[in-house]
Structure 1
């Protein structure tokens, strides 16, 4: 599913190609690209859930959390997000790329994946997708994009 999400993000968000609104056309495009129907449905549902986070009451509850509070992860979250991933989330909060609100959105979308093993690179892409989806985070998005692409070229370790 991460491959489909990354494909969609790179193909439609990072290009001048106009995003197809028709879901049937989008599904056909993904099928032609070699993705399986079931995985396409899961990825599109994941994206719908991401968009729904924008409108949910959960955002206002998260926004009320103190910025000095410590995030305690559940067992399920710790199983999905290893120490390296949790440390990266903490780092991004400390450098003001993520807020408590966007961090929680990232964790929600990580838990929405149907995978037990989450690579750090996958987490970075999820963070990028969340930041892109939340208005007012343009600077954080740009910084995260720089972290992602410089890490891929070997500059950031």
Structure 2
């Protein structure tokens, strides 16, 4: 599924430039992706679109918002299920982005939601980085250059100091 998401990210510069899911499915099929991968990715993207629309509702007047905004002083506590599915490395990376001020709380919640919707066992850090990129993509924002570098860089060759 993540190969499909990378393809979508690389070929459609913004979420609103992406074709409707049915048409996107045909294009992905024409590019040789497996039907099961395509279906998983389309289902995942549909959830992402819904979550991004709810985030845009934050721009509405307070009486029209579906949920209250989080306080800057709030603390995110992860459930046992979230801890198990995300793992320590992914939770640490989300915390790093959050503390650096580059992943606002509404976007963080979309990242966690979409990571929890990812099939399979614990989410790998590389897959989480794809999810973060897709969340930025879906809300029509581009991460700044340093964040983009952190999300796209291959860390296997990096030596800690």
TM-score range relative to shorter protein: 0.7 to 0.9
Query: In 1, Cα distance between the equivalents of 2:39 and 2:89?
Result: 30
Query: Cα–Cα, structure 1 residues 92 and 64, in superposed 2: closer, same or farther, change >3 Å?
Result: same
Return the offset for 1:146.
2.0
Q: Which runs of 5+ in 1 are unaligned?
A: none
The residue that corresponds to 1:34 in the other structure is: 32
Q: Which runs of 5+ in 2 are unaligned?
A: 59-64
The residue that corresponds to 2:62 in the other structure is: none
Q: Within the alignment, does 1:7 sit opposite 2:7 as a pair?
A: yes
Q: Within the alignment, does 1:103 sit opposite 2:101 as a pair?
A: no
Q: Is the 8 A contact 2:98 2:105 kept in 1?
A: yes
Give the TM-score normalised by the residue count of structure 1: 0.79
Give the TM-score normalised by the residue count of structure 2: 0.77
Return the offset for 1:28.
3.1
Q: 1:48 aligns with which of 46, 49, 54?
A: 46
Query: In 2, Cα distance between the equivalents of 1:62 and 1:105?
Result: 14
Deviations 1:9-63 (A, max 9, x none): 112338xxxx562545432332233322122122112112111112338965666
* More contact order relative to length (CA 8 Å, sep ≥ 6): 2
The residue that corresponds to 2:118 in the other structure is: 113
Please provide the CA RMSD for this pair: 2.8
Q: Is the 8 A contact 1:5 1:43 kept in 2?
A: yes
Query: Cα–Cα, structure 1 residues 151 and 38, in superposed 2: closer, same or farther, change >3 Å?
Result: closer
Q: 2:75 aligns with which of 48, 57, 70?
A: 70
